[in-house]
Amino acid sequence: MLQTELRTRAHAAVDYEQQAEKLSLESSSRTTEDGDGHGHAVEAKFITPLDPVIETADGNRLPAVPIQEAHKINLLKSRSEGRPYRPGLPRGLSRFDRQTAGLGAVDRNEWAKDDKESEFSRLDEAIPVLHTHPLFPPLPLYGPPSLLRDLQCVILRTTSALLSTAFLAVIVLGALFTSIPHFVNYAWLWFTFRDPYKQRPFYDEERRRSAIRLEQEKEWQRRTSNEGVARPNGTTKSPASSEGPYVPLEGGPDKLACDIRYYARRVGLDAEEYKVHTEDGFILSLWHIYNPAEYTPGPDVVRQPDEPVVFRDPKDGPHQYMQKQYADGNRRYPVLLVHGLLQSAGAYCANDDDSLAFLLCKSGYDVWLGNNRCGFTPEHSLLQHHDPRMWTWNIRQMGVMDLPAFVSRVLEETGFEKLGLVCHSQGTTEAFVALAKEQRPDLGDKISVFCALAPAVYAGPLIGKMYFKFMRVISPSMFRVFFGIHSFIPLMMVMHRTLPGKLYGAMGYRVFSFLFDWTDTRWDRGLRDRLFQFSPVYVSAESMRWWLGRECFAKQKCILATREEGRSEAVEDSEEAEEEESPERPMSDGYDRGRTAWYDEHVPPLALWVAGSDDLVDGRRLLKRFERGREPFVQVVHSKVIEEYEHLDVLWAMDAVEQVGKEVRQVLWKTMPEEARRICRKISGVVDDDGADGQPR
């Protein structure tokens, strides 16, 4: 018996080494001569039951791999060490079976199938089959670099460079063609001595703000030439003036820079950048907005990435640097803002004092801005930009990995137990996915309120446009041929880096307006070019396939339910509506609406601002889900439908401060934990229960 056991362990050890090599950073033929095991796969860590990452011998992480591959390396590792392998979380079960399954429950047939498929898998089969999981299809497995894999990458890079560029050219031409009537009308109005902008809803306010900016530019030039004091970084700091406590640290004509710090300094604030480590090895950018009159930014050493672990025990030693700068009673409550698809944190900072980030900071909150993975500068602890494994992620990883990493780091730096979360568009998708009871519901215990701006949960009618239909028609394999296995249409980033700011801003507006059917009707046109300096960013082709491909969001029309489930709920709603309207018809016992709930008792309070003229997403349908009782654990503390608003107006409309910003500020204060309220300063502009306006201490 002993010899049999030893023989079994020996075979398992050999198989384990083969599986480990399959999941390692480099193959054995490319390992370093010193043999330090750099990037050598050790085991799979399951962040959620559906999200395994590979831990390496040097303590780093490699991104998600298919579940069967992760279970196989753990199974072989346990066998080689003579231990039984008992996965601690259910897998291989249907969605609703997992909710009732016990700890360690496994679908044995699925397990056997996975093991068999894993045993005979090859690198040239990295592209998944056509029919996969309806909500979150598995990501491809790209092993260590090899001649075959490198050849595949070269071929797909070449085809996608040509085809995606042609696709982008069609979009640009379409944007220019559809703009012809606008330009003709513009020219005709000027030719007939009429102001083409006279009919804009904020025409007078736009002119007033333009005049103010022009005067501020002249005032800055006078100060820098007569009164300014030179600073080591080449800027000037003007002396205290009638502008109050927030004296601009930058000024003059707008440089149209893709720089959060530059725009923060123009309104008397400043920003520092933190680096955050996700559990799958990505390095994210996290911006902290602060008042330079009361806070000194931390040294570089405290702003570097930590270990790829989130929500560490306090005994591990959170940073005390920031906490020491504020006394109890005058601390700032942390608020994390997360941006939307193809956007970056700068979307919250481009509207001068009307920017949501600056409004919240000047009101007394501690404002943090998260940039999702890759962003403007793709970074990973092990992988390089050209490695396809760096781009094997979609909305699941952004929600399950990026968002917890941001929340964890902000809480660690500030010393609070909870924070306020504000998201726009795709940022709301990340949060709604992460908070689901099948994902990372415990994250909700760290959030005092989730403010969703233009929530992207249900698809709007725009998803049926021709160019979106094209992406939905082609197979996953053809999608990779067209758009590659790395970043999505990288030519956009080349244009972002090379084109002059004004030209890029004008082109960016036209293209995005054509794609997403929004206009600048309610924006300050004088700032429009600035708004588009912070987009687009690097996103993975897999992420765009999740949004627009044939299997996921574009087909299901929802992020957490299939199209069939949506139709079933619609039938139930219509039947109940008929019963309510017909007094002669006896009321049935009703449906157990909570049986398909996405969230459990961990979900934080929700506040929603829905753009009523938004064709990109359907926020009203989400509100209806809550109103119909389908989410018994969800507490909606605030909801508002702004009929005239389009998708980006919740951030950039000239009246967004009144319609959205001040209400967000109020909701954050209203839902703040009592302990945090006791040690934090009073937020200016909020109204207490007694009706008194708060003023900062």
Task: Please check whether residue 129 lies inside any domain of the structure.
Answer: no
pLDDT in tens, 18-72: 999 999 999 875 555 444 567 899 999 999 888 999 999 988 999 988 888 999 9
pLDDT at 30: 58
pLDDT at 467: 82
Distance between first and last Cα of the chain: 76
Among the listed residues 594, 641, 507, the one whose alpha carbon sits nearest the alpha carbon of residue 168: 507
Full domain range(s) for residue 516: 240-249+262-574+597-679
Q: Are strands 229-230 and 236-237 parallel, antiparallel or unpaired?
A: antiparallel
Query: Across all residues in the chain, what is the average pLDDT?
Result: 85
Confidence check: pLDDT of 611 > 80: yes
pLDDT band at 569 (very low <50, low <70, confident <90, very high): confident
Confidence check: pLDDT of 316 > 90: no
pLDDT band at 543 (very low <50, low <70, confident <90, very high): very high
Give the whole-angstrom CA distance, residue 295 versus residue 407: 21
Task: Please check whether residue 490 lies inside any domain of the structure.
Answer: yes
Confidence check: pLDDT of 499 > 90: yes
- Please report where in the chains the tokens 């293209």 appear, as a residue: 511
Task: Please check whether residue 149 lies inside any domain of the structure.
Answer: no
Q: How far is CA 423 from CA 440, 533, 538, 619, 649, in A?
A: 17, 20, 19, 14, 14
Q: How far is CA 105 from CA 53, 95, 281, 374, 598, in A?
A: 21, 13, 29, 36, 21
Q: Are strands 236-237 and 283-290 parallel, antiparallel or unpaired?
A: unpaired
Give the domain-ending residue among 87, 121, 155: 121
Higher pLDDT, 355 or 199: 355
pLDDT at 582: 65
For residues 548, 549, 550 and 552, what is the CA-based torsion angle, rounded to 10 degrees? Answer: -70
Q: How many percent of the chain have pLDDT more than 70?
A: 84
Task: Please check whether residue 142 lies inside any domain of the structure.
Answer: no
**CATH number of the domain within which 528 lies:** 3.40.50.1820
Q: Are 245 and 113 within one domain?
A: no
Query: Where does residue 422 fall: left (phi above 0), alpha (psi -120 to 50 degrees), or beta otherwise?
Result: beta
Task: Please check whether residue 101 lies inside any domain of the structure.
Answer: no
Task: Decide: 134 and 551 in contact? Cβ < 8 Å.
Answer: yes
Average pLDDT over residues 353-370: 97
Confidence check: pLDDT of 590 > 90: no
pLDDT at 234: 44
Distance of CA 359 to the CA centre of its chain: 21
Confidence check: pLDDT of 399 > 80: yes
pLDDT at 107: 46
Number of domains in the chain: 2
Helix pair 541-548, 476-483: axis angle to 10 deg: 130
pLDDT at 90: 41
pLDDT in tens, 504-516: 999 999 999 999 8
- Please report where in the chains the tokens 């990458």 appear, as a residue: 153
Q: Print the SS3 string covering 44-74.
A: EEEEECCEEEEEECCCCEECCCCHHHHHHHH
Give the whole-angstrom CA distance, residue 368 versus residue 357: 8
Confidence check: pLDDT of 236 > 50: no
Average pLDDT over residues 319-342: 88
Distance of CA 178 to the CA centre of its chain: 31
Average pLDDT over residues 68-90: 81
Average pLDDT over residues 585-612: 81
Give the whole-angstrom CA distance, residue 485 versus residue 499: 26
Task: Please check whether residue 208 lies inside any domain of the structure.
Answer: no
Helix pair 466-473, 147-191: axis angle to 10 deg: 170
pLDDT band at 92 (very low <50, low <70, confident <90, very high): very low
Q: Residue 426 — φ and ψ, nearest 5°?
A: -60, -30
Higher pLDDT, 227 or 219: 219
pLDDT at 690: 53
pLDDT band at 572 (very low <50, low <70, confident <90, very high): confident
Task: Please check whether residue 158 lies inside any domain of the structure.
Answer: no
pLDDT at 112: 46
pLDDT at 568: 85
Task: Please check whether residue 203 lies inside any domain of the structure.
Answer: no
pLDDT-wise least confident of 131-140, 196-205, 444-453 = 131-140
